[in-house]
Amino acid sequence: MIYSKITGTGSYLPEKVLTNKDLEKLVDTSDKWIQERTGIKERHVAAEGETTCDLALHASRRAIEMSGISNADIDMVILATTTADKIFPGTACLLQKKLDVHGCPAFDVQAVCTGFVYALSIADKFIRAGETQCALVVGSETLSRILDWNDRSTCVLFGDGAGAVVLEAAAEPGIMSTHLHADGSYEHLLHVPHGISIGYEQLKAGEAYVYMEGNAVFKMAVNTLGQIVDEALEANRIGKSDIDWLVPHQANSRIIEATARKLKMSLERVVVTVAQHGNTSAASIPLALDVAVRDGRIKKGQTLMLEAFGSGFTWGSALLKF
Ligand code: ACO
């Protein structure tokens, strides 16, 4: 049997930090409201001209360095993003060029906040099939570019950043399972209602912004995340107590706490970065993973549950031995 295993992690946050206090000057909000409802204290924002690919490149270099591979070993690049640099080609191709990697498949995955879990699952399947030996899997976002900075209900929630992993073929797991889901009938609850084939004028004018019915999304997220945790545990015939670390999508600390309660996990075993990063969509899980690997909390051989819920709706999990 061939399995896939994470051999390196990396992440990158833009230099500029936007605190809740800074946001108080932009919209009618307060540090207290944002912290109480979301757990967010600050988020990073890309500099003018700094793109999703630029952030992805920094994160990728760090993951490559940790894994000990060389760029030439990479035979697949998958980049999960909602905020591509260009309409085409895919940002994965732009990243491939910057890494001086040639010829291997490179493509983007668009599953919004679940994008990294989707990308990891695809790379795992290619490796298990024997077609890929060494995949670079990235989540990178410049969500600040699609926020209405006059809309307090959304602009306080999101941030920019990137995370990456190197996933290599291995004789033992590695990734134990991935489960992916979507239900497009909920697309209108969390979306950017303009795009290339509808509302291109707004897109061109830079007026295509995130729209969210926060309360409805919140309820669905809490219910669904509990279910996907059970699904992954049952598929692997393991118990809640076998999980060493929960590495959840970082949208809201209240959603994270509800999922931890469902797992009967103390928050000490949950990686929480939402206070410093905000919601970085597809970047949030690999960013959180890298933080906890580099500060020594996550150790080799431990069992991790990654889970995400986002626009689409899309949701999914990955259970793995690190
Ligand atoms: N500052 C102050 N007041 C605010 C702000 C703000 N920034 N934003 C909204 N309010 C007000 C509202 O206007 C409302 O006022 P009203 O009662 O006078 O009408 C009040 O606060 C309550 O608003 P709610 O939307 O009901 O607040 P809620 O407790 O639901 O929190 C939040 C909102 C944080 C957005 C929450 O619903 C949430 O986290 N939703 C889920 C987000 C998520 O998980 N997204 C999925 C992934 S994201 C992706 O895929 C891109």
Evaluate: CB of 147 within 6 angstroms of ligand 1: no
Minimum CA distance residue for ligand 1 atom 5 = 153
What is the pLDDT, as a whole number, of residue 173? 93
Q: Ligand 1 atom closest to Cα of 112?
A: 50
Neighbours of 122 (CB within 10 A): 20
Burial class (CB in 10 A: 0-12, 13-18, 19+), 292: buried
What is the pLDDT, as a whole number, of residue 9? 98
**8 Å CB contact between 289 and 299:** no
The answer to whether 279 is a known catalytic residue is yes
What is the pLDDT, as a whole number, of residue 262? 82
Q: Which residues, other chains included, contact 307 with Cβ-Cβ below 8 Å and sequence gap of 6+?
A: 117, 225, 228, 229, 232, 246, 247, 248, 249, 259, 315, 316, 317, 318
**8 Å CB contact between 278 and 245:** no
| Catalytic one of 53, 93, 113, 134 | 113
What is the pLDDT, as a whole number, of residue 263? 81
Evaluate: CB of 215 within 6 angstroms of ligand 1: yes
Q: Please tell me whether the peptide bond between 88 and the residue prior to it is cis, using omega within 30 degrees of 0.
A: no
What is the pLDDT, as a whole number, of residue 196? 94
What is the pLDDT, as a whole number, of residue 241? 92
- Alpha-carbon span 159 to 258, nearest angstrom: 22
What is the pLDDT, as a whole number, of residue 184? 98
What is the pLDDT, as a whole number, of residue 17? 98
Q: Where are the beta strands (DSSP E) in 92-238?
A: 106-109, 134-142, 160-170, 175-182, 190-191, 211-212
Q: Where are the beta strands (DSSP E) in 233-282?
A: 245-248
Identify which of 215, 253, 313 to mutate to test ligand 1's pocket (most ligand atoms within 8 A of the CB). Answer: 215
Evaluate: CB of 284 within 6 angstroms of ligand 1: no
Q: Ligand 1 atom closest to Cα of 252?
A: 39
What is the pLDDT, as a whole number, of residue 25? 97
3-state SS assignment for residue 280: coil
Which pTM value belongs to this model? 0.97
Handedness of CA 278, 283, 289, 295 (dihedral sign): negative
Q: Ligand 1 atom closest to Cα of 152?
A: 7
3-state SS assignment for residue 5: strand
Side by side, which strands form the sheet with 160-170?
Answer: 3-12, 160-170, 134-142, 76-80, 106-109
The one-character DSSP state at 295 is T
pLDDT per residue rounded down to tens, the chain (322 residues):
999 999 999 999 999 999 999 999 999 999 999 999 999 999 999 999 999 999 999 999 999 999 999 999 999 999 999 999 999 999 999 999 999 999 999 999 999 999 999 999 999 999 999 999 999 999 999 999 999 999 999 999 999 999 999 999 999 999 999 999 999 999 999 999 999 999 999 998 989 999 999 999 999 999 999 899 999 999 999 999 999 999 999 999 999 999 898 888 899 999 999 999 999 999 999 999 999 999 999 999 999 999 999 999 999 999 999 9
**8 Å CB contact between 181 and 65:** no
The one-character DSSP state at 183 is -
Q: How far is the CA of 288 from the centre of ligand 1 (A)?
A: 23
What is the pLDDT, as a whole number, of residue 131? 98
